[in-house]
């Protein structure tokens, strides 16, 4: 069983479109995260949710909106996509919000905006 899964794995779309990336974890964890990895492999946290409550909201354009329908899911919706949004997006989860707990990462979604 996949612990943290993301769909789709690849996403190619045009500028101005709206798209969503879905994330699900079956580990029973309370905290979920979204990270962005740019073309230089730099990995930066975007959001974290604990029990459906937003905990971390980094300086991210408000075109990005996370949605957590339940604690096993954290989806990322992106409006009006721009070329600079092209990146690999990773979802992760951990038992609790304390970084002392290991974060488990999904396989990533490669988003390409043309």
Partner 1 sequence: AQSVTQPDIHITVSEGASLELRCNYSYGATPYLFWYVQSPGQGLQLLLKYFSGDTLVQGIKGFEAEFKRSQSSFNLRKPSVHWSDAAEYFCAVGESFQKLVFGTGTRLLVSP
Residue 108 binding partner 1, by CB under 8 A: yes
Tokens coding 73? 């899911």
Residue 99 binding partner 1, by CB under 8 A: yes
Burial class (CB in 10 A: 0-12, 13-18, 19+), 90: buried
Torsion region of 27: left, alpha or beta (phi above 0 gives left; psi -120 to 50 gives alpha)? alpha
Residue 42 binding partner 1, by CB under 8 A: yes
Tokens coding 91? 């979802």
From 14-22, 61-69, 76-84, 91-99, give the range in contact with partner 1 by CB under 8 A. 91-99
Binding map of partner 1 across residues 46-75, x = CB under 8 A, - = no contact: --x------xx-------------------
């Amino acid at each position: 069983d996949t612990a943290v899964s993301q769909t789709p794995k690849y996403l190619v779309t045009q500028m101005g479109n709206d798209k969503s990336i879905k994330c699900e974890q079956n580990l029973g964890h309370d905290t979920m995260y979204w990270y962005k990895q740019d073309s230089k492999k730099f990995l930066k946290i975007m959001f974290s949710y604990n029990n459906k409550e937003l905990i971390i909201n980094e300086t991210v354009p408000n075109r990005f909106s996370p949605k957590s329908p339940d604690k096993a899911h954290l989806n990322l919706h992106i409006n009006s996509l721009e070329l600079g949004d092209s990146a690999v997006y990773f979802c992760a989860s951990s038992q609790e919000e304390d970084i002392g707990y290991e974060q488990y990462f999904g396989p990533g979604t490669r988003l390409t905006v043309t």
